[in-house]
Structure 1
Amino acid sequence: MSKSLRIIVPVKRVIDYAVKVRVNPAKTDVDRNVKHSMNPFDEIAVEEAVRIKERLPSTEIIAVSCGSAKSQETLRTALAMGADKAIHVEVADDSKLQPLGVAKLLKAIAEEQKPDLIILGKQAIDDDSNQTGQMLAGLLNWPQATFASKVEITDTLAKVTREVDGGLETISSKLPAIITTDLRLNEPRYASLPNIMKAKKKPLTKSTPEQLKVDITPRLETIKVEEPAKRQGGKKVESVDDLIDKLKNEAKVL
């Protein structure tokens, strides 16, 4: 491949996957005063971009995060993994930031940076919306390849193997394009100490929704957040007739 690539990789700061999430006392949200880290699907997206750069050294990787000031920690992690520079779109309360708002912010950045490829995690593990990549593709009018388990980049095409209900599907898409990553795409590397130190010197620029002229007003309102009911213990039945009786009269599902 002869031409250089520019890749944007959005990364989100989420509650760490190992933390047991609890509802806050007011039942308006989950308790966010816990350990946070980069969304695991976004780690896969950063890793894939870095692997492309290793094959094509002229590639430039731009990590982008929309959120509070603490999102800069997530961007520094992306820089330590191999991104070249970072853009932080600062939002006062990122708990109010919804997929459409993020997609609009990313569209504005894409129009500024003119990337050849945008690689996103297929979903964030906090809201599990699985919407931002598809919305961004729609807003930019770019082709998309979601749930990627294998990515090959050629001069003008992205060849993507994606996971679908019936197995695997391989599609080719012209660049620029949107790719969202699935778990089996790769295994993200750990950032080495020297790279963590180097990341502190890599450029990180700040922006705001106002500067990008994007309205991120939430379209949805959360009325109440509750923990799911605790699972009841199972019961053994003596016969099929006994099972049917309990399904009919106790569980009332028949």
Structure 2
Amino acid sequence: MNLLSLYLDHPISKSALEYSFDLTMNKGVENGYYGRNDTLHALLAPFGVLTLIADEKRTILSALSTLGISMEDEQKLITQDYPIQIDPNHPEAFSITNQVIILREDTVLSLNVIALAISQSVGLEHYEKRLDTLFSQSRRIVASIHHFSISRRSHLMQFAKRLALTRHDMVSNLLLLDKPNILWDNEEAENLYNRLAFILELYDRHEIALSKLSQIKEDVMLVMDIINHKKSEFLEWIIIVLIAVEIVMGIMEMVK
């Protein structure tokens, strides 16, 4: 079997997937949906990642084509694939390496768990790339700290807003801080997910991303403090000048 997980640049509705893939999407993984027909297993994660599983890779490519998605420009897409082998004689319920996932049987639950873990990895990669951009912008902001303007203060506030929203989306959407609900009542599914999370380094990557966010936040707070200090100094000088002008005018009145 072949698995392909893809970050969607544009949101796709559940009904659009049902129409395009000729299957019924059911509520399954957290706030996501899954569906299955004779040739395709699909999972739509709540953070904008679509995962498709099929025996043949061309089935997946054909399904993506019906959504207007072409893999010809794969370098611009955030994707991850993983081969899945079904071996009824496998001594364990599953085994996972960096190269392949082996299952004793392809149950809906096991495929949903695999699809969730891979989609989280793809979603995390999306945020990692966004953080790289924010980190570069943060460095430029710190490098130009000696410049002050009212418009620059406004741009900094917009940057801080983007940073806060990114952190909120990472924590609330990727579901990496809490165990998915589908794992609470099934130890085998939990072990499958935990093994995949370890192989994909989900928790380590998530911690690194949050650490970068904290560093950028500290940079923004530092620049904001300096800008506020400069603004206070500027206002103080205006007050001093006004007082000086008033004193001079008072002296001139007294001389008259």
Q: TM-score, normalised by structure 1?
A: 0.23
Which structure shows the higher helix fraction? 2
